[in-house]
Structure 1
Amino acid sequence: MVKALHIAEKIVVPEGVTVEVEGSKVTVKGPKGTVSRDFSHARGVFIRLEDGAVIVETYVADRERKALVGSVAAHIRNMITGVTKGYRYKLKIIFSHFPISVVVDEKNRVVRIRNFMGEKSDRIAKIHGNVKVKVSGEDIVVEGVDIEEVGLTAASIERATRVTDRDRRVFMDGIYIYEKGEAS
């Protein structure tokens, strides 16, 4: 097995974005907001700033450490994209008989799904982190700067209407993610 002596990835920081590195904690600030992440789980991977770029590197790298360097660099790129453009997931409300109504409860940071398959009680999905959820007609739009929080919120809304005891080909009622990507 061959080990590389030095593996590094360079991420250029665009104008209007500031990156702070304190040990293994990275904070990215931009026009849309701030995202922080702790990479202390990535043992043997070092993160530093150099000439307007973030350098993610490791020494005496085996296959796992090379992959870890790529993963940490991808997370930092996602953080930069989040604070410059943001992330948006779109979900579609689909029903055949019982009209589903969706209400965003900002006070409790939850999404309430009413009258799903004729049920009397609400189904509840949690809104994670600093994410905005908007309902317009048959669409739900989830937006934020942290891709993980946006994805978790959209997935929890989709999971809240999951049906396991019926045939999905016949009973297609639910809320489904149909588009995800950058907000701008």
Structure 2
Amino acid sequence: MSRIGRKPIAIPPGVEVQVHDGLVSVKGPLGKLEWSVASGIGVSVTDGQVVVSRSSDDRKIRALHGLVRAELNNMIAGVTKGYERSLEITGVGYKAQVQGQSLLLSVGYVDPVTFSIPPGIEVKVDKQTVITVRGTDKRKVGQVAANIRAIKPPDVYKQKGIRYAGEVLRKKEGKTGK
């Protein structure tokens, strides 16, 4: 059995977990999330805990066992605490600002880059150089942060660009001329 898949998930107060026909919905103070469970995986709610079980020892179902349990745990944590990812902008004249449901980035291109913020995600800009991405869905928060970073990835030579907060870059030396 999967060590992660075997562990029951405790349901904190204020969170509702419902299972209907392979669809698990988690409702909490920050919102509602849904996840469709693959066939062969069973989810049950008993005594204030969520228990994930599997029907057979097939390789694919064994792999999904731990995945489903981890996803459900992330959903419960997301509707109670939420997830957050911070990005830093480094470079002379590089800045960001939020206008409605879009993020405007001035990162060295001729025109500012417009990034549309998907629903369910909140983006905040502090001091024009720190971008904070918040939401209840861990996957969505991570993907939006990765998409923003991909607009101008950090340069290893000049150390300019958009990077995750706390990300350490190794600075490379340029060419040495004679």
Which bracket does the TM-score occupy, shorter chain normalised?
0.7 to 0.9
Q: Give the letter for the 1:28 counterpart.
A: V
Residue 151 of structure 1 aligns to a residue whose secondary structure is helix
Pairing partner for 1:130 from 113, 116, 120: 120
For 2:57, the equivalent position in structure 1 comes to: 61
Q: Is the 8 A contact 1:126 1:153 kept in 2?
A: no
> 1:138-149 maps to which residues of 2 (within 5 A)?
138-149=129-140
Give, as a single letter, the amino acid of the residue that structure 1 aligns with 2:99: D
Q: More deviation in 78-87 or 128-137?
A: 128-137
- Following TM superposition, by how much is the alpha carbon of 1:179 offset from its aligned partner in structure 2, in angstroms? 5.5
Q: Normalising by the residue count of structure 2, what TM-score does the alignment of the two structures yield? A: 0.82
Aligned length: 164
How far 1:78 sits from its partner (Å)?
Answer: 0.3
2:104 corresponding residue in structure 1:
112
1:103 aligned residue? 97
Partner of residue 175, structure 2: none
Deviation at 1:126, TM superposition (A): 3.6
- Are 2:22 and 2:39, in contact at CA under 8 Å, matched by a contact in 1? no
The SS at the match of 1:170 is coil
Q: What are the superposed Cα offsets for residues 131-154 of structure 1, whole Å, 9 maximum, x if unpaired?
A: 110101121111111111111111
SS of 1:60 mapped into structure 2: coil
RMSD: 2.3
Structure 1's 66 and 55: CA in aligned 2 closer, same or farther, altered over 3 A? same
User: What's the CA shift string for 1:39-59, capped at 9, x where partnerless?
Assistant: 2xx231112222222221112
| Misfit runs of 4+, over 4 Å | none
Aligned partners of 2:28 and 2:80 also within 8 Å? yes
- The one-letter code sitting in structure 2 at the alignment partner of 1:169 is V
Distance 1:149 1:133, change over 3 A: same
Give percent identity, aligned residues only. Answer: 32
Indicate whether 1:87 and 2:95 are aligned.
no
Match of residue 173 from structure 2 = none
User: What secondary structure sits across from 2:64 in the alignment?
Assistant: helix
Aligned-partner SS, 2:84: strand
For the structure 1 residues 86 and 179, does the alpha-carbon distance in structure 2 shift closer, same or farther, using more than 3 Å as the test? farther
- Contact 2:102–2:116 under 8 Å retained in 1: yes
Higher relative contact order (CA 8 A, sep 6+): 1
Question: Is the contact made by 2:153 and 2:163 (CA closer than 8 Å) also made in structure 1?
Answer: no
